[in-house]
Copies of this chain bind each other. A is one copy, B any other.
Amino acid sequence: MIKEELNIIKVGGAIVEDEDSLKGLLMSFSGLHGKKILVHGGGKIATEVASKLGIETQMIDGRRITSAEMLKVVTMVYGGLVNKDIVARLQALGENAIGLTGADMNLIMSVKRPVELINFGFVGDVKYVNTRSLKSLLEVGAVPVLAPLTHDKEGTMLNTNADTIASSVARALSEEYSVTLTFCSSIPGVLRDLKDPSSVIRTISKADFAPMVADGTISEGMIPKLQNAFDAINDGVAKVVITSPSDLSGGTTILADPETDD
């Protein structure tokens, strides 16, 4: 059986927070044919709103410590302000956008991260993606716009990393669709030379990964991003791409491991 194609685009905070970049991204996204899902961040706006409300933002390893007060802020900013702004703009472009969190239709259930060395507070690790409900929305022609929020199914919202949401949803929906998962940021792909945006490496396989980390071609934030991409592609996602909003069909494509007979 040939599976229908589904595009899942994850767009980072830096793009959502810049008027021109967001406009470009939404234009590119609305140009995609067929079924699609947009997953967005919005951390910088959350930090700004928190600051205005007198709530201090504390980050550890790039992750937000989410107190009860900060949870209210991210629920407002991600689930309300950023999400509905994107939905209204996509609607203006003729897209049947529907803005959702993991709580809505129990789309993404997570568990509050256990306290080990660090207490991240109200942060959720994804446990379950409701493939059936997501599919039912896609089948009626809706275009889900997912905020980086989940819930514990016990009445509490949880703050959840947007990359994780995108790859969890991509993996779960790969049972039903041929999924292309695209991580969109201001960097046009994995670069051979960080100072040269034209040095995009077109394809990377798992075999290339370790040597490229060793020689420093891949470093810092790109390491977990690629790890995430390899996990997705080895878990059934048809294609993973790292690119910028203006070039959704370009960027770096992550290659699956060669098929084995196990």
Q: Which residues does A use to contact B, with CB under 8 Å?
A: 49, 52-54, 72, 75-81, 83-85, 87-89, 91-92, 96-101, 103-106, 133, 136-137, 140, 142, 149, 151, 153-157
Chosen A-B contacts, 28 in total, with CB atoms closer than 8 Å, are A53-B53, A75-B84, A76-B77, A79-B81, A79-B84, A79-B99, A80-B80, A80-B81, A84-B101, A84-B104, A85-B157, A87-B101, A88-B155, A88-B157, A91-B151, A91-B153, A91-B155, A96-B106, A97-B103, A97-B104, A98-B100, A98-B104, A99-B101, A99-B103, A99-B104, A100-B104, A133-B142, A140-B140
Q: Which residues of B contact A136 (CB under 8 A)?
A: 140
Most interface-central of A54, A87, A101 (chain B CB within 10 A)? A87
Nearest neighbor of A86 in chain B, beta-carbon distance: B103
User: How far is B150's CA from A45's CA once the two chains are assembled, in angstroms?
Assistant: 22
Nearest neighbor of A136 in chain B, beta-carbon distance: B140
Would you call the interface of chain A mostly helix, strand, loop, or mixed?
Answer: helix
Q: Please tell me if the beta carbons of B80 and A155 are within 8 angstroms of each other in the complex.
A: no
Q: Please tell me if the beta carbons of A157 and B100 are within 8 angstroms of each other in the complex.
A: no
User: How far is B82's CA from A76's CA once the two chains are assembled, in angstroms?
Assistant: 8
